[in-house]
Structure 1
C-alpha cells in the first residue's frame, strides 16, 4: 500500500478535493453537481487513489516480472550452450541487450505520446481524442518499426568494435541483430498498443497478452537454440536436432521475433474488440497531420531522452572495451574476455529491481495524467508522491537482496570465473543506491506521463553527459578501478539525477503543460 503523505487529507485517501487546481464546481439548471476534478471516463473513473494505483501498478509489475524473467532466461540459454562458445555467446547477448534497449527506447518514445493524450482524454471524457490517438499511434508504430528495423542492421559493426568483441562474438552478434530486425514493425505494434492501454488505465489486458508473448519467447527460444537446459541436478534435453554451437544465438533471437508476432496479433485483436471508452477503429488508422503532430510533440523529447541515455551507455561500453584492450596488452591486470558478459549479467539482475519502480512510475504517470485531464493538479501531485514513496520502499528491499546474495544470483546465470569475480561486486554497488534509483524512476515516469518530456530530456542529458560519463571514465579507466569503478560512477550519477527530477517535480511547472 502506498504510504500516506503529509499532503493528504486524513478524511480521505483519494477523493479529489476542490482546490484552485480543480476549479469550482458548477451546477446545471436542475442543480445537479458536475463532478469537476474527477476522472470522467475509462477504468479509473470513480476509483479511489489507492485503488487506481493498485489497478495500474500490479498488472504492470507482473508484466515486467515476466519480461525480466525472459531476459534472464535468454542469458541462461546462452550460458547453457557448449562451453567452447559460452563466453563469446554471452558477450554477444550482452551487446544484444543494448540493441533491445534501443528498440525499447524507440518504441516507448512514440508510445508515450499516445499514452499521454489518451490519459488526458480519459480524464476529460473526450472519447474522440482517445480513439484518434490510439489509431494514429498504431499507424505510426508500424512505420516507425520499419525504420528501426532497417537501422539495426547498421549498428552491429560499430557496437562490436566499441566493445572490442572477438570475431566469434561479433559473428554471434550479427546473427542476433539481423534476426531481431525483421520483427520490429510487430514489436512496435505490441509496445505502442500496450502503452496506449496504460493511458486508459487498462493494465490487466496488456499483462495477460504479455503472458502469451513471454511463453512463446521462452518456448521458441529454447527449442530453436538447440541447447539443453541444465540447472544443478535438473536437466531437460532439447528435442530438436539443432547444433547449439552454430545456431544457438540465432535461435534465441528467433524465439524473440516469433514472440513479437504473437504479441502483435493479440494486441490488435484486443484493441479491435475494445476496452472501456477506448477502441481501435479502422478509420482512425488513416494518418492525420494534427494528431501525428500532437503525438510527436510529446514523444519526440522522450525519444531524444532515451537516445541520450543509450548514447551514454555506448560510451560506457567503449570504456569497458578500453579496459579489456589494456588487459590484453598487459598494461593492466584483469580479464581479457567476459567483462561485457559480467556487465550484462549485473544489468539483467538490476532489471528485476526496476520492476516495482517501473510499475509504480507507470501508475504515477497514468493517474497524474488523467487527473490533469480532469483539471485536478492536486490529486495528480498526490499520485506521484504516493507512488514514489512506495517505489523507494520496494526497490530498497531488492537492493538489500543484491547486497547479500550477489554471488548466488550470478551463479543462476553463469559459473564462469570472470563472472563470479566481477558481477557480485557490481550488484552490491547498485544495491546501495536502489532508494535513489526509485526516486529517479518513479518521479521521471510521473513527469513523462503528464507530458513533461522536454524537462525529463534536459535533466537526463545534462546529468548523463555532465556527470555520468566523466565519473565512469575517471573511476573506471583513468584511476584503473576497472568495471567496478565504472559502476561506482554510473550509480553515483543516479543519485544526482534523482535529486534533479525531484526538484523539477517540486517546481510544479509540469502541472501547466498542454498536450
Structure 2
C-alpha cells in the first residue's frame, strides 16, 4: 500500500500542472461555447458541427505525437539525453507534417459539408469559422510537441502558464471580434474563429521561445535542426503513433458522428449536445491530464527497469481518477439545469441539455478509468490490441446502439448518449483487464531474467 501512496504523490506532482493546462485548454472551448451561445443557438450549433470535424483531425494528430512523449520519457529515464534530443527533433517534424496534412484535409472537405445533412441555417454560418479553425490545427499540434517534451523532462509548470494565458487572450479576443468591441466589426461566429487562430499561434511562438532558451533543456535540445533525420526513428514513431491515432480516432470519431446524428434531429438537439459535450469534455480533462502523467511515468519506469512500479503508478492514478470523476458525476446529476442555463437562454435547449448531463453523470467513472488504462498501456508501448478494443467499443457497440436508440426507438438525443455511455463502459473494463495481463507478463519476464 505504501508504494501506491508514494507513486500517487509522484504522479500527482507531475500531473497537477498538466491537469491545469488541460483544463485551461478546454476552458477555451467552453468559453467559446458560452460566448457564441449569446449570438444564438444556430451559431452554437454551427460551432458544434465545425468543432466535431476539427476534433477528428486534432486527435489523429495527437495520436501521432503521443509516442514523442513516450520515447522522450524512456530516453530521459535511461539517462541518454542525446537520444532525447533526437526524438524531439523527429517529433517536431512529425507534428508539422500532421498539422499541414490535417489542415489540407479539412479545407478539402469544405465544399462537401452539405453532405453531412445538417440544418440549412447551421450550414450557412459554418464556412468562415471552419476555415479559420482548420488553419489553427498547425500551431495547435506544434504546441503539443513542445509541451510534451517539457513535461517529459519534468517541467510541466510553464506549459500550464502558457495555456492559461492563451485562455485569457482567447476570451479577450472573443469579446472584441464576436461582439464588435474596441472599434472592431461584430463578426459573430467568424470572430470566434479569428480569436482561436490568433491565440493558438501566439501560444506556439511563446513555448518555442521558452524551451529553446531554458537551461534545463539544453542537454536535450537538438544541436541542429536541418538534416540528420533517420527513417528508423520516423518508422518507430509511426509504428506507435498510427495505432494510437486510430484508437483516439475511434473514440473522438464516435463523438463527432454523434454530433452529426444530433444535427439530423434538429438545431435544438445539436445545441443541447454541444452544451453537454462541452461540460463532459471539461471534466474529462482531469483524468486526461492524469493519464498523460501516467504514460510518461510508466515509460520512465520502463526505461529505468523499475518494473515493480508499473502497477502502483497506474492503480493509484485510477483511484484518483475515480474520486474526481465521481464528484463531477454528482454535479451533473443534480446541477445539470443550472449548468445548461449558463450557455443559452432558450428553455427547450436547457431542458434537453440537462437530461443529457444526467447520462453523462453515469459514464464519468468509466470515462476516467478507460483513459488512464489506455495511457498506461501506451507507456508500455502496447498499442495494437488497445486500438482493436476501442474500435469494438465505439464503432461496434456505442454508435450502432446510439443510432438505433436515437433514431428508431423514439429516445432521440438521450438514446444517442446512452449508446456512447455503453461504449465507454466496455472500453474501461477491457483496457484495464489488458493492463493487468501485460503487467503480469512483465513481472514474469523479470523473474525469469533474475533466475537465469
TM-score by length of 1: 0.81
More moved, 384-393 vs 282-291: 282-291
Shift of 1:127: 1.0
Deviates more, 1:127-136 or 1:214-223: 214-223
Residue 252 of structure 1, aligned match among 192, 201, 205: 192
Correspondence for 1:240: 183
Residue aligning to 2:250: 308
Cα drift, residue 474 of structure 1:
2.0
* Cα pair distance change 1:153/1:470, threshold 3 Å: same
Matched, 1:281 2:235: no
1:176 has 2:117 as partner = no
Q: Separation in 2 of the partners of 1:370 and 1:249?
A: 43
Counterparts of 1:110 and 1:132, CA distance in 2: 16
- Partners of 2:223 and 2:138 lie apart in 1 by 18
> Which residue of structure 2 aligns with residue 130 of structure 1?
84
Q: State the shift of 1:284 in Å.
A: 4.4
What is aligned with 2:177?
224
Corresponding position: 1:294 with 2:236:
yes
Pairing 1:373–2:373 present: no
**Which residue is equivalent to 1:267?**
207
Query: Cα 1:509–1:52, aligned 2, differ >3 Å: closer, same or farther?
Result: closer
Q: 1:240 to 1:76 in 2, by over 3 A?
A: farther
Task: Quote the Cα distance in structure 2 between the aligned partners of 1:212 and 1:511.
Answer: 44
C-alpha separation between the residues in 1 aligned to 2:240 and 2:312? Answer: 23
Closer/same/farther in 2, CA of residues 384 and 509 from structure 1, 3 Å limit: closer
CA contact (8 A) 1:216 1:262 kept: no
Q: State yes or no: 1:106 paired with 2:36.
A: no
Q: Any idea what SS the aligned residue of 1:308 has?
A: helix
Q: CA deviation at 1:171?
A: 2.8
Q: 1:195 to 1:165 in 2, by over 3 A?
A: farther
Question: Does structure 2 conserve the Cα–Cα contact (< 8 Å) formed by 1:135 and 1:282?
Answer: no
User: 3-state DSSP class of the match of 2:224?
Assistant: helix
Q: Gaps spanning 5+ residues in structure 1: where?
A: 1-7, 15-47, 228-237, 325-335
Query: In the alignment, what sits opposite 1:210?
Result: 163
CA distance, structure 2, for counterparts of residue 221 and residue 99 of structure 1: 21
Q: Contact conserved, 1:75 with 1:90, CA < 8 A, in 2?
A: yes
Matches within 5 A, 1:381-396: 381-396=311-326
Shift of 1:477: 1.3
- Tell me which of 21, 27, 32 is aligned to 1:74: 32
Instruction: Tell me, in whole angstroms, the C-alpha distance in 1 between the residues paired with 2:413 and 2:83.
Output: 49
C-alpha distance 142-282 of structure 1, shift in aligned 2 (>3 A)? farther
Q: Does 1:489 align with 2:431?
A: no
Asked if structure 2 preserves the Cα contact closer than 8 Å seen for 1:115 and 1:199, the reply is yes
Cα distance change on mapping 1:198 and 1:459 into 2, 3 Å: farther
Aligned counterpart, 2:21: 63
How far apart are the structure 1 equivalents of 2:363 and 2:155?
A: 31
Give 1:417 shift. Answer: 2.4
Higher mean alpha-carbon deviation, 369-378 vs 197-206, is at 197-206
Q: Is the 8 A contact 1:149 1:181 kept in 2?
A: yes
SS of 1:413's partner is coil
Call closer, same or farther: CA 1:305–1:13 in 2, change over 3 Å. closer
Q: Which position in structure 2 is the counterpart of 1:356?
A: 286
Shift of 1:510: 9.2
CA deviation after TM superposition for structure 1 residue 277, in Å: 7.0
Q: For residue 182 of structure 2, give the secondary structure of its aligned residue in structure 1.
A: coil
Measure the CA separation in 2 of the matches of 1:511 and 1:182.
44
- 1:153 alignment partner, SS class: helix
What is the deviation of 1:298?
1.2
Instruction: Answer with 152-161 or 61-70: which moved more.
Output: 152-161
2:333 counterpart of 1:403: yes
User: Aligned partners of 1:374, 1:87: CA distance in 2, in Å?
Assistant: 53
Deviations 1:227-267 (A, max 9, x none): 5xxxxxxxxxx333413xxx211110111111111111112
Say if 2:176 is the partner of 1:190. Answer: no
Is the CA contact 2:333–2:358 (under 8 Å) kept in the aligned structure 1?
yes
Structure 2 unaligned runs (5+)? 443-452
> Aligned pair in 2 of structure 1 residues 160, 212: CA closer, same or farther (>3 Å)?
farther
Q: Which has the larger radius of gyration?
A: 1
More helix by share: 2
Contact 1:115–1:449 under 8 Å retained in 2: no
Counterpart CA distance in 2 for 1:484 and 1:50 is 36
Contact preservation (8 Å) 1:115, 1:195: yes
Tell me the TM-score normalised to structure 2 length.
0.92
Answer yes or no: is 1:347 the counterpart of 2:277: yes
Tell me the number of residue pairs that the alignment of Structure 1 and Structure 2 aligns: 441
SS at match of 1:480: coil
Query: Do the aligned partners of residues 218 and 100 (structure 1) sit closer, same or farther apart at CA in structure 2, a change above 3 Å counting?
Result: farther
SS of match in other structure, 1:242: coil
Give, in whole Å, the separation in 2 of the partners of 1:216 and 1:267. Answer: 15
Q: Work out the CA distance in 1 between the residues paired with 2:384 and 2:440.
A: 10
On the 8 A contact 2:107/2:131 being kept in 1, the answer is yes
Match of 1:97 in 2: 51
Moved more, 87-96 or 396-405: 87-96
